[in-house]
Amino acid sequence: MEKYKPTREEVGRRNLLVQRVIYELKAEIRKRELDADPILVGSAARGTSLKNSDVDVFVVFSRKYDRNVLERMGLELGYEIIPDGVAKYAEHPYVSGIIDSVKLDIVPCYKIERGTKIISSVDRTPLHTEFLNSVMTEEERNQAIILKLFLKRLGIYGSELRREGFSGYVTELCIYYFKTFEKFLENVRSSRGQLVIGPKSMDFKTAVILMDPVDEHRNAASSVSVKALSILRMGASEFLSNPSVESIDPEVSISVERHPKDRGTYLLLVEFQKPDMVDDIIFPQIELLKRNLMSFAKEKDFFVLNIHSHVSGENVQILLELESGKLSEVKIHQGPPTDNGNAAHFYEKYKNDPRVARGPYIIKDRIYVELYREETRFREIFLNNLNKINFGHNLNNIKSRLKISESIKRITSSDVYLDFIHTIEPPPLSP
Amino acid sequence: MEKYKPTREEVGRRNLLVQRVIYELKAEIRKRELDADPILVGSAARGTSLKNSDVDVFVVFSRKYDRNVLERMGLELGYEIIPDGVAKYAEHPYVSGIIDSVKLDIVPCYKIERGTKIISSVDRTPLHTEFLNSVMTEEERNQAIILKLFLKRLGIYGSELRREGFSGYVTELCIYYFKTFEKFLENVRSSRGQLVIGPKSMDFKTAVILMDPVDEHRNAASSVSVKALSILRMGASEFLSNPSVESIDPEVSISVERHPKDRGTYLLLVEFQKPDMVDDIIFPQIELLKRNLMSFAKEKDFFVLNIHSHVSGENVQILLELESGKLSEVKIHQGPPTDNGNAAHFYEKYKNDPRVARGPYIIKDRIYVELYREETRFREIFLNNLNKINFGHNLNNIKSRLKISESIKRITSSDVYLDFIHTIEPPPLSP
pLDDT tens digits, one per residue of B274-310: 988 888 889 999 999 999 999 999 999 999 999 999 9
The rounded percent of chain A whose pLDDT value lies above 90 is: 85
Find, in chain B, the residue whose alpha carbon is nearest to that of A229: B365
- How far is the alpha carbon of B373 from chain A, nearest alpha carbon, in Å? 10
pLDDT digits (tens, 9 = 90+) for B75-132: 999 999 999 999 988 778 999 999 988 999 999 999 998 878 888 889 999 999 999 9
**φ and ψ at residue B199, rounded to 5 degrees:** -70, 150
pLDDT digits (tens, 9 = 90+) for A215-236: 888 999 999 999 999 999 999 9
The reported pLDDT for the residue numbered B154 is 97
| Least confident among A29-33, A143-147, A388-392, B233-237 | A388-392
pLDDT digits (tens, 9 = 90+) for A169-222: 999 999 999 999 999 999 999 999 999 999 987 899 999 999 999 988 899 999
B324 inside 8 A of chain A by CB: yes
Tell me what ipTM this predicted complex has: 0.91
Average pLDDT of chain A?
A: 94
Amino acid (one-letter) located at A338:
T
**B window 333-392, beta carbon within 8 A of A:** 338-339, 341, 343-344, 347-348, 351-352, 354, 356-367, 372, 376
B325 inside 8 A of chain A by CB: no
Neighbours of B92 (CB within 10 A): 17
∠A59-A60-A65 over CA atoms, to 5°? 110
Interface with A, mutate which of B256, B302, B339 (most A CBs under 10 A): B339
Average pLDDT over residues A375-398: 93
Helices then strands, each counted (H, E), chain A? 13, 15
The reported pLDDT for the residue numbered A276 is 85
**φ and ψ at residue B94, rounded to 5 degrees:** -150, 170
Average pLDDT of chain B?
A: 94
The SS3 call for residue A203 is coil
| Least confident among A278-282, B36-40, B328-332 | A278-282
**A window 147-206, beta carbon within 8 A of B:** 191-193
Kindly tell me if the per-residue pLDDT of B183 is higher than 90: yes
The rounded percent of chain A whose pLDDT value lies above 70 is: 100
Tell me if B264 and A327 make a contact (CB, 8 A cut-off).
yes
pLDDT band at residue B368 under the 50/70/90 scheme? very high
Which chain A residues contact residue B351 at CB under 8 A?
256, 424, 428
Kindly tell me if the per-residue pLDDT of A53 is higher than 80: yes
Distance CA A247, CA A143 (A): 15
pLDDT digits (tens, 9 = 90+) for B269-278: 999 999 888 8
| Nearest Cα residue to A322 out of A338, A340, A308, A339 | A308
Distance CA B404, CA B402 (A): 6
B241 inside 8 A of chain A by CB: yes
| Least confident among A221-230, B245-254, B328-337 | B245-254
The DSSP line for A155-170 is T-BS-STTT--B-HHH
More confident residue, B393 or B380: B380
In terms of C-beta density within 10 A (0-12 exposed, 13-18 middle, 19 or more buried), how is residue B197 classed?
buried
- Strands, DSSP E only, in B207-299? 208-212, 215-219, 266-273
Kindly tell me if the per-residue pLDDT of B329 is higher than 90: yes
